[in-house]
Structure 1
Amino acid sequence: MWLYTFLERILIPTGLHHFVYAPFVFGNVATPNGITVDWFTNLEAFTQSTQSMKDLFPAGGFALHGNSKIFGCTGIALAMYHTAKPENRQKVAALLIPATLTAVLVGITEPLEFTFLFIAPWLFAIHAILAGTMAMVMYTFGVVGNMGGGLIEFATGNWIPLLGNHTGMVVTQIAIGLCFTAIYYVTFKYLIVKFDVPIAGRGDAEMKLHTKKDFNEKHGITSKGDAGTATPLQIQAVETIEGLGGVHNIEDLSNCATRLRVTVKDPSRVQTAEYFMETGAVNIVKNGNAIQVIIGLNVPQLREECEKIYSATKTVDMTMAPAT
């Protein structure tokens, strides 16, 4: 369990982390239909049983990596805030609050994790070690579930349904998680000060959090194709449309708080979850012709870019259509 979660975190810079958790969460390595499907298929039965959750669904130990996003990132953010110079803390808080809320609520951790990857990769390794240790401790104390995302997923798909016969497991998970928030905080605060890590708000460090794009540019990693002058969001929109089978496979396009909701003509033309994760999405949910691409809080902006491509292509089709 420790090694699984450690690899899921430490391989993020390479993109290979998808190959660690996807076979367990979406494939048949741990359960016949994948942890996500089999968790929700049996959730009602779990809520009615008084048997321990670890006995009912032991494979759920391979889906605890989201705990580092909620409890770990909170401790990291607090350490970053308290190690900044007092006169810079207000500016640092303005950077950290939205990034931490995004990590905690929906599980998108890029600004926090890639900041350490950019400035001090060894701190990211510490993060991966702590994440693996937290998952191992939780599993040892009987915590299992479908917990790869953020707090919204934890609450709606795990905690709320399980309250009643499994309240003890929920309380245990939160208690261990908060203990690790404190461990993360103390560890990162000590290391940042001890080694004078130049994060935002310290010394002459740039007042910003870094992204995957910054990390790739620093290490000479190029993205797919020639991006030209396109923005990352425009590139993601193009790749998302392609993953959905192209403009002509899309019948309807909208969004909710964190998801791109799409109705497609032929669901067999929709790419795999791994493809969409490579474009920047968190995950994808398929239900017949109804597709949900889980993006995060910037989904309205992505939908707008997708609509521009959709509208432009339709306009070209109408222009080129033969006159009747």
Structure 2
Amino acid sequence: MMQKIQKFGGAMFTPVLLFAFAGIIIGIGTLFTTEVVFGPLAAPDTAWFKCWNVLLEGGWTVFRQLPLLFAVSLPIGLAKKQNARCCMEALVLYLTFNYFMAAILSGWGTLLGIDYTAEVGGTSGLTMIANIKTLDMGMIGALMISGLVIYLHNRFFDTELPEWLGVFSGSTFVFMLGFFVMIPVAILSVFIWPKIQMGMFLFQGFVLNAGVIGVGIFVFLERILIPFGLHHLLYSPFYYDNIVVQGGIYAYWAQQLPTIAASTTNLRELAPYAAYTATGWSKIFGCPGIALAFYFTAKPDKKKQLLALLIPITLTAVLCGVTEPIEFTFLFIAPALFAVHALLSSILAMTMYLLGIVGIYSGGAIEMASLNWIPLAPTHGMQYLIMLAVGLCFTAIWFFVFRFLILKFDFKTPGREDEVEDVKFYSKQEYRDTKQGGEEKGITSPQSERSQLAIRVLEALGGKDNIVDVTNCVTRLRVNVVDESLVATDAVFKSLGTHGAACNGKSIQVIIGLSVPKLRDEFEKLL
């Protein structure tokens, strides 16, 4: 079950990768169309506004079509064959499902307690998806339908039909089955989902009234679930669905940016809902403190080598908000340190909340600047100066706490490993020298570092006969294996040039970094 959950979490991340760029475009477009910043030049009737508004509207594409995007993207990671065809099947059956619901609500909405004539949004429980007025099931509905389609596709796509019925095979057969499956699913949805919506509204009230404790608990859980690959499932409904505000915190914040930019009122009073994206504070302030602690506790002869590792993975965390490369360097070596890291992340988030500093702070500095600091600096600059001072104080706290714990308990963090576990980074020549060994095992490989790394990772995973399937998230190669006893240790994976590996039964996560999609391509060629 854990393997399936982790694989689902990785597949969920496919569309999320688009959010960073879309968020930057929205931030820039909002900045240049805000009158409080550019004055009369940014008035709605000016050529300046109209030109920047074109860019802004394009940036909204991803956030306005989130359910559709998730429905189409899930098969990329979960379909076992013909992924592209499964994406098409998911799209057409998701639209079919919504047309069924629209017809049911139009004919029997009043009997179900739903006013189908009401405007979409708000408390109506209705929305528009691809110009279909339907029940607002958000991302959850899209994932549910896409999951059903993936199941049908994996099981029935290769069904052999008589030759005279060959035109109905493949995707057409999956669509035919799915068409009739969607009818009872739509009927059940219009009966059950309105009750769930009511529960969501009650939960929204609870979350908004939980105050600083609620923020702390949320951020702690988001960090502590990272080893299991389940953190996406925690924050995604908050950020991209209707749990807290209509359309998700990301989309709602972007919509409200002009109003927020025009006011000098405390940010927490203007947007209390945005407090739950505080998971990024530890990325830009905590990770540098951790990196400094690693460097100053490393063995003298390993500091130079360690610095070459720490600089890129720390910049990745600070600028891009991708923390797995640095967190996985110590997560399974010293899990107690990771628990402390999660606790400090929670305390920092609560501190920022108490100071009234809220906004879109789940990513890295690039995203934070585009959605917060740049458009809001003229009216909220003083709060951001306070934020910087507090954040740097917490960087020092992370450094001293980690340094103390590493030395106190002699944790084998990077640069402190025993010689047998020494982290080695191979040169180009060393990669080339391994080519012949790979060919002797029946594996042919191109003359590239990435190809050679893929060969080494495959061998460390027990060879191609030990691989069940492979997917990836933003930084990790996620592999399910036949026999976990054939998988090498974390130290071996580090010696290959990766950031290590996390093993949970037959589910293995090899931490590669942001180049993991390209490595996966090479890996799949070997399979």
- TM-score normalized by structure 2? 0.42
Equivalent in 167, 171, 176 of residue 385 of structure 2: 171
* Alignment pair present for 1:154 and 2:394: no
Partner of 2:332: 118
Within a 5 Å distance, the mapping from 1:284-323 to structure 2 comes to: 297-298=514-515, 301=518, 305=521
Distance 2:514 2:244 in 1: 31
Q: Deviations over 1:145-165 (max 9, x none)?
A: 011111111111111111111
* Alignment pair present for 1:144 and 2:361: no
Question: Contact 2:330 / 2:414 at 8 angstroms: preserved in 1?
Answer: no
Q: Deviations over 1:286-321 (max 9, x none)?
A: xxxxxxxxx98437837x949x99xxxxxxxxxxxx
Letter in 2 for 1:61: A
Change (3 A) 1:296 1:51: farther
Partner of 2:268: 54
Distance 2:318 2:282 in 1: 9
Distance 2:229 2:476 in 1: 16
Change (3 A) 1:66 1:54: same
Give, in angstroms, the shift of residue 22 of structure 1: 1.4
Distance 2:275 2:397 in 1: 21
Distance 2:255 2:393 in 1: 32
Give, in angstroms, the shift of residue 27 of structure 1: 1.4
Equivalent in 249, 271, 274 of residue 35 of structure 1: 249
Distance 2:222 2:393 in 1: 22
Report % sequence identity.
48
Within a 5 Å distance, the mapping from 1:1-324 to structure 2 comes to: 1-204=215-418, 206-208=421-423, 227=467, 297-298=514-515, 301=518, 305=521
Larger radius of gyration: 2
Please identify, of 188-197 and 14-23, the stretch whose mean Cα deviation from structure 2 is larger.
14-23
Change (3 A) 1:28 1:227: same
Question: Contact 1:95 / 1:208 at 8 angstroms: preserved in 2?
Answer: no
Question: Contact 1:81 / 1:89 at 8 angstroms: preserved in 2?
Answer: yes
Question: Contact 2:240 / 2:248 at 8 angstroms: preserved in 1?
Answer: yes
Change (3 A) 1:148 1:165: same
Letter in 2 for 1:63: T
Distance 1:238 1:66 in 2: 24
Partner of 1:255: none
Higher relative contact order (CA 8 A, sep 6+): 1
Question: Contact 2:477 / 2:516 at 8 angstroms: preserved in 1?
Answer: no
Change (3 A) 1:108 1:30: same
Distance 2:322 2:305 in 1: 21
Letter in 2 for 1:201: G
Give, in angstroms, the shift of residue 96 of structure 1: 0.7
Segments of structure 2 that go 5 or more residues without pairing to the other structure are 1-214, 425-456, 480-508
Change (3 A) 1:203 1:136: same
Distance 1:21 1:190 in 2: 32
Question: Contact 2:325 / 2:513 at 8 angstroms: preserved in 1?
Answer: no
Question: Contact 1:79 / 1:189 at 8 angstroms: preserved in 2?
Answer: yes
Letter in 1 for 2:240: F
Give, in angstroms, the shift of residue 208 of structure 1: 3.6
How many residue pairs were aligned?
241
Give, in angstroms, the shift of residue 193 of structure 1: 0.5
Q: Secondary structure at the match of 2:351?
A: helix
Higher helix share: 2
Give, in angstroms, the shift of residue 238 of structure 1: 11
Distance 1:30 1:55 in 2: 16
Change (3 A) 1:93 1:42: same
Question: Contact 1:92 / 1:207 at 8 angstroms: preserved in 2?
Answer: no
Question: Contact 2:471 / 2:478 at 8 angstroms: preserved in 1?
Answer: no
Question: Contact 1:46 / 1:56 at 8 angstroms: preserved in 2?
Answer: yes
Q: Secondary structure at the match of 2:358?
A: coil
Letter in 2 for 1:58: P
Change (3 A) 1:11 1:230: closer
CA RMSD of aligned residues (A): 3.4
Q: Deviations over 1:148-204 (max 9, x none)?
A: 111111111111111111112211221111111000000000100111111222251
Change (3 A) 1:20 1:236: closer
Q: Secondary structure at the match of 2:264?
A: coil
Give, in angstroms, the shift of residue 77 of structure 1: 0.4
Distance 1:57 1:229 in 2: 43
Give, in angstroms, the shift of residue 115 of structure 1: 2.1
